[in-house]
Chain A
């Protein structure tokens, strides 16, 4: 501060305060600054009166509470209408269907204590007497009838209505051609639910574990007058936890449900989702500061995690990513040899290990991921798909045939539709380079944000689209019908009667071996016809608090699942 007393420098203009600047004018400024600080302090104090709250440490053993971050506000906790991962996660902790998945991903009894099949198209569920709602009332068979009718009611406009289409008359009800009362699901008494199926559904027990099949108390639903699931008090819970507070957009707190029939085996007292954020850096920073008990890792923060010597865990989240060709009439990619050429030079291991470089991902080959179960063991071990090594020579031969058939004088330019995530762009640029080098094919990348990409996919405005599929239930069927000619998700309109036939066998045959053989045919046709090129099976890596045990990560069902977790 010595220069304050110095003479002003010559280039200070005449008249500037600099001429006679002394310690007092500095005092003036500091005085102003002081007012500023005081005003800021007063304002903060006022605001403190307005807002209250604050979250605890990641793991608090004294209260049995864990603190976590969530991907965002759950958009829809009405189980008849929910579609997204965040909502299903909260529902998985607070609600329970007839069956559920145990920590080892096997089906186990939920609200139903036992169930039996009569023939191929009838199932009877016997509800446990001690299954209760959080207001103490019993969960009855009527609650399932009410909720399932609600799902299928056209006025309710449930997006997941199709998952109930196996029930007798369900599809007709959802189309509006039959009344909801005609659903062939009957509450014989409070504890017996009789379910009739439209056709044999060999994986029906797995479907029942899906959140859309959850019960809802009719009396409670009606009492909310259209506000069901809008807030914490607008829900009735029958699962391990209840929502004790819900600050929209900010936090959700779950507390142990004393009325839950298996409450003795629930060891956590509270789960506090104190932060809603999708930003991986924010999540990892919260983890560093011991404010969240679990954090997902992405390529950007993996090195940091390694340096800190955290124990990094991985699991398969179940999703498969692939390039889907457009098989519509006017598209070049309808040409078999062009698709085969692209398939021949594909190198999934290189993509996974050298481009995406995130541990956990597996190189893709089949539409059916490795974790799916087959007849006795894993599907892919029982029905391995021979995925040949990249063969540039074969690729060039196929391309030459394709160019002859299409009467092209030089390799074509293809439009590749992708999402706007960094991974998608990295991946697309890799393929752009690969196909240019190996085949001379030019790729024009069309990166679009979420909805615009979906609109273009639906309209068929692409040659190749980067797509992915996550499972709904634990049966290969959740993947097998994806490229059936009638499936709306078959964006490239792949149409193969043989595949359609195999799908029909797989979804209605009651013999496990016949079913899995049919699934294997689907797998082989998709490869032989090069309907799609599978890129990778997605794995996720994460870090969790060392004292928090018993977190279950899984491909199908509630994930991450803290219901059976405990603090050590």
Chain B
């Protein structure tokens, strides 16, 4: 178990280093740089800027400096937010993205398990057909459509009520979180519903359920103790990557609802060629994803005794 952990950790570090290196060279390979602006500047001003940011050095040297700083946990100062350290940006804004992401995943997980179980129980009957139709919508309609629709509905509801039930945009109070997290979790909820449904149906046909029924156990007990518990396993498996995906992928929702999350910085940094923020967020997100996958593997080993961690 311990050895396994160490092995996975080393694998993780190599993965993150690879991500950092690939991003670094890809980023410098793309035309355009962070010092370019709408208004071109005289060569002497440009030279002053390059010297200030160390971009006048050869690329290999920049890479070496970058790796050294990264090893000591220093991602430098943003090019576009010129007075802010990348570490501060990640710290302040990841908190918001994580809050939003956790809420979304809680919403998605409970909804997915609930609807998935329901559809399995009512297989091929009205509730199943209706829910599965909604699930197909949920999976195929992109998030930005839900975000726009969600915001528009909030406006109409508030208009109709005559007071602000849910804020249209912004961040700060609990009311601000509800609609965006639901919008963000919708796609994952649809996906989990489908997963839960097929998992439930598969379990329903297995021998131990047959045995349980043969023993004369009440249906509700079979459902609760045997079927649901086993059917949830695959859902937990995908939950880890889903948490990472939702937390890192919330940028559209963050944009539409004016939420100060990290996702926005991540995307804007790429558009602005903000080298330090691109590197900082990519490495951070990379490490986060790797970490979540390891955590899920470990949890899986604990939940299911059949899995051996070697």
Contact = CB atoms under 8 A, between A and B. Distances in A.
B81 interface: yes
Interface string B16-42: 000000000000001111101111111
Nearest to A24: B220
Contact of A54 (B42, B48, B167): B167
Contacts of B168: 282, 285-286, 288-289, 291
A18 B121 contact: yes
Interface residues of A, number: 91
A175 interface: yes
Given A155-B48, A249-B92, A17 B222 contact: yes
Contact of B36 (A21, A45, A81, A458): A458
Contact of A28 (B93, B102, B223): B223
B82 A451 contact: no
A44 B124 CA distance: 36
Given A54-B167, A230-B84, A159 B41 contact: yes
Contact of B106 (A14, A39, A176): A39
Contact of A282 (B89, B114, B257): B257
Given A12-B124, A29-B118, A276 B258 contact: yes
A85 to B, nearest CB: 10
A455 B45 contact: no
Nearest to A161: B45
Contacts of A491: 40
A282 B256 contact: yes
A47 interface: yes
Nearest to B95: A50
A161 B41 CA distance: 9
A15 B209 contact: yes
A568 interface: no
Interface in A43-72: 43-45, 47-48, 50-55, 69
Given A17-B219, A20-B219, A43 B106 contact: yes
Given A249-B92, A285-B155, A9 B125 contact: yes
A566 B272 CA distance: 37
A22 B219 contact: yes
A265 interface: no
B206 to A, nearest CB: 8
A18 B222 CA distance: 12
Contacts of A450: 32, 271-272
Nearest to B224: A28
B81 to A, nearest CB: 5
Contacts of B37: 83, 159, 454
B44 A43 contact: no
A154 interface: yes
B155 A55 contact: no
A157 B48 contact: yes
Interface string A271-312: 000111111011001101101000000000000000000000
Interface stretch (B5-13, B171-179, B279-287): B171-179
Contacts of A27: 220
Contacts of B152: 285
Given A53-B172, A291-B168, A25 B49 contact: no
Interface string A124-144: 000000000000000000000
A59 B40 CA distance: 40
Contacts of A22: 219-220
Given A33-B110, A75-B80, A282-B256, A9 B124 contact: yes
Nearest to B166: A289
A230 B113 CA distance: 46
A489 B39 contact: yes
A12 B123 contact: yes
Interface in B153-189: 154-155, 158-159, 164, 167-178
A229 interface: yes
B210 A15 contact: yes
A411 B227 CA distance: 72
A451 B204 contact: no
Given A3-B125, A162-B42, 13 more contacts: A14-B205, A16-B201, A24-B219, A52-B173, A53-B171, A176-B48, A229-B83, A249-B92, A274-B170, A275-B170, A277-B169, A282-B257, A452-B32
Interface of B: 30-34, 36-45, 48-49, 51-53, 80-84, 88-89, 92-93, 96, 99, 102-103, 106-107, 110-111, 113-114, 117-118, 120-126, 148, 151-152, 154-155, 158-159, 164, 167-178, 201, 204-205, 209-210, 213, 219-220, 222-224, 227-228, 255-258, 260, 264-265, 271-273
9 contacts: A13-B123, A51-B171, A248-B84, A248-B92, A249-B93, A250-B170, A279-B255, A282-B151, A450-B272
**Nearest 8 CB-CB pairs, A to B?**
A451-B32, A53-B172, A36-B110, A249-B260, A455-B31, A488-B40, A230-B83, A250-B260
Interface of A: 3, 9, 11-22, 24-25, 27-29, 32-33, 36-37, 39-40, 43-45, 47-48, 50-55, 69, 73, 75-78, 81, 83, 154-159, 161-162, 174-176, 227, 229-231, 234, 247-251, 274-279, 281-282, 285-286, 288-289, 291, 449-456, 458-459, 488-489, 491
